[in-house]
Amino acid sequence: MLRHLDATEMDPVSLLVRESAQNSWDARIGDGPVDFRIGLRTLGPSEAPVWRELLSENAPSVEHLRLRSSLARPVVRVLTVTDTGTKGLGGPTRADVVSDGESDFVSFIRKTGSSQDLSSRGGTYGYGKAVFHLVSRPHTVLVHTRCRVGLRYETRLIGWAVHESYNTDTVDGPKTFTGRHYWGRVQDGYVEPLVGEEADEVARKLGFKAFPVDGTGTTVAIVDPDLGERDDSEAMQWIVEAMIWNLWPKMLPEGGDAPMRFTVTHDGVEVPVPGPSDVPHLRPFLWAHGEMDRVVEHKRLGRTLGRMGVRKFIAPPGPPPKAAQEAGVGDRLHHTCLMRPVDLVVRYLAGPPFYEEHGGYAAVFRADPGMDRVFAATEPASHDNWMADRLQGEDRLLAKHALRRIGDAMKEASAPTAVVNTAGDGVSLAGMSKLMAGLMAGAPGQGGSAVFAAAPDASPAGAYGRWSDAGRPADGEGSGAADRSGPGGQRRRGARLRYLGDPFHDTAEGKTVLVQRFELLDVGDQAVRARLAVALSGALGREGEPPKGASVPTVLGWRSDTGEVRTVAELHVAGEDGRIWSLVVRPAPDTVTDIAVTSERKDGSG
């Protein structure tokens, strides 16, 4: 069983997060939210002896059960995965008992794999449970569950280890063992779980948190977890990032509460799990997820394959987290997040890089419910890819067509948009709020001048943007001198605002815009203005009066890092409140635009 998952390139800890969350989602009760918790704890001086005593009794030798070595360590650690709002592991406890109802206990504990209808489900118990053993050094877990049995509630507790089969001598002669070991109560040669009050009492001694009397759920305790080369704190942060990048669709509110609620703890202390919108590199995928208005279909066969949203943006600073890169996201964002209708991330499919190194695009493709069976069949055991060649006939044709259409959409998104900046052409202020809402991801400028590429069939009109010392008011000149010291530099005396990097550009809806980021350093109500001009070549400076009929740079609006958008020419705002503002400008065609931002106290004081 372990070999299936050992072959995947995905980090075992990330795989644990993905697979266990899928199992929890599949076990949900009704439409209520699922609480999903992962915690790492070191067994205390009163707990560790109990684990050693209970789990070592009648256990096989260390060569056939590594659990003995793990329990002999001076420090024993346990990683727990808990879900509530789920139905627990109910049904018969023996695989040889036929049941017409629930059989979750047998499917999870007894069977090495179970075939089931994957529609509206994330995965299979067969592989979802294997990852728990894969992360455990002795391949040993304890399962503590509370479920309904008829009209009553029942607690169950059982241990389970997986090893290779082996031969050994017994009092009855040589025998072959499967390598699957159970810990519980032996009845007629069969290991049954502890149940009822006995299960509650032993679970309490082992340190398991009790389930509510009228509640159900499951905790899987992974003994002596192997967290790779990370220390415990790094491992728990990795788990947080793996949750965010693999499970973020389940974190989005749906008419109030989110479908799943996530908690991570380390020795009883909660590790914060940010919301998806608080993660800069993930935010573009949320924008695309909210705009899945592109229908992907196979017209000849009359089949709807899914829906897709695509969003271009200025790249956030720095690389994405390592857990994101491990999920398929590279140093630059040019990916489509693939997901089935259950809204769990399958993978981030890379497309052609964005034509400009400071930009990117993000897309989301969600398979149509009618295609869920087809896409589920393309997935390997780890559920982290779509491989259409695994299919045959029409199913293969449909899956390959969907992936081809996704690739076409990414190729289109990666190319420069035709830019035509003619006199009078621009973005209306009425439409700027929507346009600017997804324009910037808060990246600083990258310096120098910016040249806007155009598609081969575009107008030859171009536009350029630069930061010019000649265009900045010097210290003490007029009102509101600017500081170029940067976020980490020493503030200039008398400076009212600080530029954050040089102007940079974006192309949105066929329109080129320039962006200048800044922060206000002075307190009180401010009137912030932009001084725009066309820069002349050489030492000629700025254009005083444009030729009659010539196009000029135009202020389109202002946007804060909190998402507030103001489509006004002059910004009135309180200073020194910690917000980062961005001025958005439409440049004139075939020109270099000088941008200067000034601020003045609204009370007129100096």
Over residues 487-537, the pLDDT tens digits come to 444 444 456 788 887 787 765 455 678 888 899 988 888 899 998 887 654
- Judged against a pLDDT cut of 80, whether residue 451 lies above it is answered with no
How far, CA to CA in Å, does 98 sit from each of 27, 91, 103, 104, 192?
Answer: 21, 10, 9, 13, 16
Tokens 């053993």 locate to 133
- Decide: 221 and 79 in contact? Cβ < 8 Å: yes
Average of per-residue pLDDT across 392-418: 91
- Among 132, 127, 123, 140, smallest CA distance to 16 is for 132
Q: E strands, 452-574, where?
A: 464-466, 481-483, 495-499, 504-508, 511-520, 525-535, 554-560, 565-566, 571-574
**Residue 139 falls in which region: left (phi positive, over 0), alpha (psi -120 to 50) or beta:** left
* Most confident residue range from 79-93, 348-362, 374-388: 79-93
The packing angle between helices 48-56 and 196-206, to 10°, is: 130
Q: CB 494: neighbour CB atoms within 10 A?
A: 13
Distance CA 353, CA 333 (A): 8
How far, CA to CA in Å, does 103 sit from each of 83, 240, 565?
Answer: 18, 32, 54
Average of per-residue pLDDT across 414-441: 45
Average pLDDT, the chain: 79
Least confident piece of the model among 68-82, 163-177, 413-427? 413-427
What b/e string do you get for 503-522 counting C-beta neighbours within 10 Å, with b at 16 or more? Answer: bbbbbbeebbbbbbbbbbbb
- Judged against a pLDDT cut of 70, whether residue 32 lies above it is answered with yes
For 293-310, the pLDDT digits (tens) are 999 999 999 999 999 999
Domains and CATH numbers, the chain: 2-277 (3.30.565), 283-414 (no CATH), 429-601 (no CATH)
- What is the pLDDT confidence band of residue 415, given thresholds at 50, 70 and 90? confident
> Is residue 197 classed exposed, middle or buried when 0-12, 13-18 and 19+ CB atoms within 10 A define those classes?
exposed
For 333-344, the pLDDT digits (tens) are 999 999 999 898
